[in-house]
């Protein structure tokens, strides 16, 4: 079993990733930490508690950062995830409460308790991971790996020609994460734009998963409607679940590596820039940084099958 803490801004595709992590036999989901991003951190925390409750699980939810490290908070993309973050399905309020610790404190405590064992899976802006590094820089040596949905190296961005939403939401935090002495795997738009989840799949999930299937299909419909309106696809992209899939089976991805800097201002703000050509440049921003990995190819058929199997497994019935 691979122990993970999932840092999230739920979020419709976050829900897909969280449910997949809950159900997959190779994953031990220790807890959820929440951040602003698709919605406010308050709404993200409520949504995380709702997902845990819906699944009948008893795992901690720790509330995290509500604003970026430096830049202004952007308006929340309610046209992508709905005002409630779940496509305006408007779930009843969850009964549970977040734990007293902040997300960053929870991450530090768990990583120090299980050095070398925990993978941080981040599928939202990266303020909680940056805050955890600030509390205890030594966690960089104790985290097994950071696998993050975010960024784009060579493909089309989704919030600018060169930037992806999670990184743009907090570029200063993202740059700290890329510069730290831990192993980061960027599961970015280079691969998630190759993985489409269609209506027929969600209809199957609604039919076979009697616990959370109908909710997932209803929320996904809002996401599909958005993507069908701006991209020529019959479905929605499997952004966040691709990060969980990497933890389960990294062999379905092809990767490159290099030092990574994140642009924190100007026209390219939010761009993840990897020095990947082995050329010693006169500009030294990348010098002294660790090489990080970025996923550039993916077996999308295998990834969709992993999601489908997790969402229709006996775990839910
Ligand atoms: O760019 C896609 C990412 O931004 C996903 O994590 C989605 O949930 C949003 O947070
Ligand atoms: Ca997300």
pLDDT at 317: 86
**Residue 166 alpha carbon to ligand 1 centre in Å:** 6
**Residue 118 alpha carbon to ligand 1 centre in Å:** 22
Distance CA 171, CA 45 (A): 22
Ligand 1 pocket residue status of 158, Cβ below 6 Å: yes
pLDDT at 35: 98
**Residue 37 alpha carbon to ligand 2 centre in Å:** 7
pLDDT tens track, the chain, 317 positions = 999 999 999 999 999 999 999 999 999 999 999 999 999 999 999 999 999 999 999 999 999 999 999 999 999 999 999 999 999 999 999 999 999 999 999 999 999 999 999 999 999 999 999 999 999 999 999 999 999 999 999 999 999 999 999 999 999 999 999 999 999 999 999 999 999 999 999 999 999 999 999 999 999 999 999 999 989 888 999 999 999 999 999 999 999 999 999 999 999 999 999 999 999 899 999 999 999 999 999 999 999 999 999 999 999 98
Ligand 1 pocket residue status of 149, Cβ below 6 Å: yes
Q: For the chain, which domains are there?
A: 2-316 (3.90.245.10)
**Structural tokens at position 16:** 């897909």
- Distances in Å between the Cα of 270 and the Cα atoms of 81, 161, 307 are 21, 10, 29
**Residue 283 alpha carbon to ligand 2 centre in Å:** 32
Residue 273's CB is within 10 A of a number of other CB atoms, namely: 18
User: Does residue 239 carry a catalytic annotation?
Assistant: yes
Ligand 1 pocket residue status of 303, Cβ below 6 Å: no
Ligand 1 pocket residue status of 14, Cβ below 6 Å: yes
Ligand 1 pocket residue status of 175, Cβ below 6 Å: no
Ligand 1 pocket residue status of 165, Cβ below 6 Å: yes
Residue 141's CB is within 10 A of a number of other CB atoms, namely: 12
Burial 162-200 (b: 16+ CB within 10 A, else e): bbbbbbbbbbbbbbbbbbbebbbbbbbbbbbbbbbbeee
CA 189 to ligand 1: nearest atom: 1
What would the 3-class secondary structure string for the chain be? CEEEEEEECCCHHHHHHHHHHHHCCCEEEEEEEECCCCCCHHHHHHHHHHHHHHCCCCCCEEECCCCCCCCCCCCCCHHHHCCCCCCCCCCCCCCCCCCCCCHHHHHHHHHHHCCCCEEEEECCCCHHHHHHHHHCCCHHHHCCEEEEECCCCCCCCCCCCCECHHHHHCHHHHHHHHHCCCCEEEECHHHHCCCEECHHHHHHHHHHCCCCHHHHHHHHHHHHHHHHHHCCCCCEECHHHHHHHHHHCHHHEEEEEEEEEECCCCCCCCEEEEECCCCCCCCCCCCCCCEEEEEEEECHHHHHHHHHHHHCCHHHC
Query: To test ligand 1's pocket by mutation, which of 6, 7, 8, 9 has the most ligand atoms within 8 angstroms of CB?
Result: 9
Query: To test ligand 1's pocket by mutation, which of 148, 149, 222 has the most ligand atoms within 8 angstroms of CB?
Result: 149
> Cα torsion for 290, 150, 250, 299, to the nearest 10°?
-130
User: Does residue 9 carry a catalytic annotation?
Assistant: yes
**Structural tokens at position 256:** 């490159």
The pTM of this model reads 0.98
Cβ–Cβ < 8 Å for 89, 219: yes
Phi (first) and psi of residue 291, to 5 degrees: -75, 130
State the ligand closest to the CA atom of 159.
1
- Distances in Å between the Cα of 14 and the Cα atoms of 47, 116, 220, 286 are 10, 25, 11, 31
CA 9 to ligand 1: nearest atom: 10
| Catalytic residue of the set 9, 14, 84, 240 | 9
* Bridge partners, residue 29, by sequence: 4
Residue list, CB under 5 A from ion ligand 2: 9, 11, 14, 123-124, 240
**Structural tokens at position 127:** 């303020």
State the ligand closest to the CA atom of 37.
1
Query: To test ligand 1's pocket by mutation, which of 39, 124, 227 has the most ligand atoms within 8 angstroms of CB?
Result: 124
State the ligand closest to the CA atom of 223.
1
- Greatest CA separation for the chain: 59
Ligand 1 pocket residue status of 170, Cβ below 6 Å: no
pLDDT at 232: 87
């Amino acid at each position: 079993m691979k122990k993970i803490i999932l840092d999230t801004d739920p979020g419709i595709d976050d829900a897909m990733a969280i449910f997949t992590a809950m159900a997959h036999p190779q994953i031990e989901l220790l807890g959820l930490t929440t951040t602003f991003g698709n919605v406010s951190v308050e709404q993200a925390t409520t949504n995380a508690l709702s997902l845990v409750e819906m699944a009948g699980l008893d795992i901690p939810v720790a509330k995290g950062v509500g604003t970026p490290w430096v830049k202004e908070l952007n308006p929340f993309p309610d046209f992508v995830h709905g005002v409630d973050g779940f496509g305006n399905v408007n779930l009843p309020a969850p009964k549970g409460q977040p734990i007293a610790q902040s997300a960053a404190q929870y991450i530090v405590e768990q990583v120090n308790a299980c050095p070398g064992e925990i993978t941080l899976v981040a599928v939202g802006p990266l303020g909680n991971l940056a805050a955890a590094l600030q509390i205890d820089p030594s966690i960089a040596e104790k985290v097994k790996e950071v696998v993050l949905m975010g960024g784009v190296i060579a493909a089309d961005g989704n919030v600018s020609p060169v930037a992806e939403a999670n990184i743009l939401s907090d570029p200063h935090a993202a740059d700290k994460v890329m510069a730290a002495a831990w192993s980061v795997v960027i599961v970015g738009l280079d691969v998630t734009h190759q993985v489409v989840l269609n209506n027929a799949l969600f209809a199957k999930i609604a039919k076979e998963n009697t616990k959370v299937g109908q909710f997932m299909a209803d929320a996904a419909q809002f996401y599909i409607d958005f993507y069908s309106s701006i991209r020529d696809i019959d479905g929605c992209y499997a952004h966040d679940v691709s990060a969980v899939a990497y933890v389960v089976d990294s062999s379905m991805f092809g990767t490159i590596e290099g030092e990574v800097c994140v642009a924190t201002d100007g026209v390219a703000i939010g761009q993840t820039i990897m020095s990947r050509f082995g050329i010693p440049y006169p500009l030294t921003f990348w010098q002294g940084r660790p090489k990080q990995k970025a996923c550039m190819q993916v077996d999308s058929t295998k990834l969709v099958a992993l999601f489908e199997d997790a969402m229709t497994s006996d775990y839910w019935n």
